[in-house]
Amino acid sequence: MNANDYCRSRGNEALVNRGLRASSFGFRTSCFEFRISDFGFNLTDSSRRLLQRWGAFLFLVTPSRAANALSQRPGRRFSLSPAEGERAGVRGPPGRSPLRGSWTVTQILLTFALIFPLCAANLSLFACTTFVLAGGQRVYLGKNLDWDWDSGMVIVNSRHVHKRAFVLATNAVEWTSKYGSITLNQFGRELPFGGMNEKGLVVENMWLSETKYPNPDPRPEINMLQWIQFQLDTCATVAEVVETDKRIRLENTPILARIHYLVADAQGDCAVVEFVNGKSIVRRGKNLPLHALANGIYDQDATYLRSHPHPQKGEDSVLRFCRAAVRATEFKPGKNSAQDVDYAFETLENVRQGNYTAWQVVYDISGRQVHFRTRTNPQRRSVGLANLDFACAHPPRYVDIQADPSKNGQLEFHDLRDAEQRDYVTRFVSQDSVKKEVGDLSPIMPLWLMALHTYSCGE
C-alpha cells in the first residue's frame, strides 16, 4: 500500500488531492518541496512520488488529524505585519503583509512536522548516559550526550508565558509557565534536550529503541522534547511530574525518535519515565534502587547488573548503565559541592564514548547551578540560576554552548530574538555533516519563528 492508498483507506482523500492557491514563496528540502498557500499547503508531484515510495513515514503524521487540520478546523489564528515578517525572514509584496490571509498554528506546525521528522529519519541514535548522585542533603544529576553534533544554546526560559504544544492535534496541550528554567537546546527554543528549573527540578532524555508512545485518547498531546519544557515550566517536584500523566499525553510518533526520561528534584526524589507497549511506566522510590539510565529498558539493565556486579569497560549501553549505577551507589558527599561536581564529571568520563561524547552536563540541584563542557570547548563552564532574570517582559536570553566566560568569569547572556534564533539554526543546519544526514532544513526557520510568535507574556 502506498501513501495515497493509505490516506484513502482512512477516508482522507483531502490529504492527497487538496489543491490550494500558491503564494509568493515556496521552498525545497532534500526530502520535500512545498508550495505554501494562503490557507494551507500543496504537495508537488515530486513530493507525492516520494511519499508513494515511503508511505510508512506517513504514520509520523496521523492522516485523519492532518486532513482535519487542513480542511475543517479553524485553529488559532494570527497574522504577521510586514515588519514582523521581515524579522521572521518571510517577505511579501512591498508594503503588504507576507501572509495575505491569516494562518493557523496548526497549518504552520503541520508543515514543520511533515518536513522535519521525515528528513531527520536518517539521524544517528542518541546514545546517552545519565545518573543521580544523592547524599548529605546534596543532589546532582549527570548527563553525557553522545552523538554527532555538539552545537547548542543555553537558554533562559521565562515565567508567565502562555504556550501551546507543537503538535498536529487540535487538542494540543496549552499552559502558562509557572517557573523559570535554564535548558540546553540544539534544535532551537522550546525543544530542550534537558534542563533545570528554579525549584531544582531536572529533566533529561535518552534514546530508547523499545519506546512505544501511547495511542491517542482524550488527553491533550505534546511532543517528546517539549514535554521536558512543560515539566520544567509547571512542576517543582518529581511527584508533580508523575501526576501530569493523568492530564497530558506524549504525541504518538512511533517511527522517529524514541526516548525515555530521568527526572530528579531538590528533595532527592528521582524517577525513570518510560513508554513501553503504549503505556507509561514510572519507576521511583523502592522500584528505582539504581539511580542511572542509559539506552536500555531500566528493569532489564538493572537485572543485568545484579548478575554482573563488577561491570566491565565498554561502550555498550548496558555496560555504561552498570558503571554509572555503581558510581552513583558508591557516592559519598565530599567536603564541598566542588568535590561532588568533580566526582560527577569523573563518572561522566567513566562512561564517555570517546570523541562521540558531545556534551557533558552536571546539574548541581541543591546549589541550583549547571556545569557543562563540550567536545569543541572542553573548558568547564557554569551558570547559576540565582543570577538569572526569569521575567517574561523581555525576550528570552541565551548563550552559545561553546562560548567562553568573560573576564569576570561569567557567561554573557544575550537576547534571543528572531535574528539570533535564525542565525544559530542557520549555522547548525549549514554544517556539511548535518546536510549529509538531514538535508537542507533552513527553510523551516520562517515557519518555526511564526509559531513562536503565538507565545504571549502574562506579566
Domain coordinates of the chain in residue numbers? 3-121, 123-416
Instruction: Specify whether the CB–CB gap between 93 and 24 falls below 8 A.
Output: yes
Residue 337, class by beta-carbon neighbours within 10 Å (0-12 exposed, 13-18 middle, 19+ buried)? Answer: middle
CA-wise closest residue to 363 among 128, 133, 126, 127:
133
Of 84-88, 328-332, 433-437, 443-447, highest mean pLDDT: 328-332
SS3 content of the chain, % helix, strand, coil (to 5): 35, 25, 40
Instruction: Specify whether the CB–CB gap between 351 and 324 falls below 8 A.
Output: yes
* pLDDT above 60 for 109: no
* Whole-number pLDDT of residue 448: 74
The percentage of the chain sitting over the pLDDT mark of 70, rounded to a whole number, equals: 70
* Whole-number pLDDT of residue 52: 36
Give the pLDDT mean for 234-249: 98
For residue 351, give the 3-state DSSP assignment.
coil
Phi and psi (nearest 5°) for 261?
-130, 150
* Whole-number pLDDT of residue 149: 92
Tell me which of 122 and 405 has the higher pLDDT. 405
Instruction: Specify whether the CB–CB gap between 324 and 130 falls below 8 A.
Output: yes
Give the pLDDT mean for 105-132: 56
Please, which pLDDT band fits residue 83 given cuts at 50, 70 and 90?
Answer: low
Q: How many whole angstroms separate alpha carbon 376 and alpha carbon 390?
A: 29
- For 158-311, list the strands marked E by DSSP: 161-164, 174-176, 181-185, 192-197, 202-207, 221-222, 249-250, 259-264, 270-276, 279-284, 292-293
* pLDDT above 70 for 241: yes
* pLDDT above 70 for 76: no
* Whole-number pLDDT of residue 438: 65
Please, which pLDDT band fits residue 444 given cuts at 50, 70 and 90?
Answer: low
Tell me which of 21 and 274 has the higher pLDDT. 274
Q: How many whole angstroms separate alpha carbon 333 and alpha carbon 329?
A: 12
Instruction: Specify whether the CB–CB gap between 75 and 451 falls below 8 A.
Output: no
Give the pLDDT mean for 353-358: 95
* pLDDT above 70 for 105: no
Please, which pLDDT band fits residue 48 given cuts at 50, 70 and 90?
Answer: very low
CATH of span 123-416: 3.60.60.10
* Whole-number pLDDT of residue 355: 94
Range of weakest confidence among 49-58, 75-84, 428-437: 49-58
Phi and psi (nearest 5°) for 380?
-75, 125
* pLDDT above 60 for 252: yes
Computed over every residue of the chain, the mean pLDDT equals 78
Write the CB contacts of 264 (distance below 8 Å, at least 6 apart in sequence): 132, 139, 141, 201, 202, 238, 270, 271, 363, 365
Global pTM exceeds 0.85: no
Give the pLDDT mean for 28-38: 33
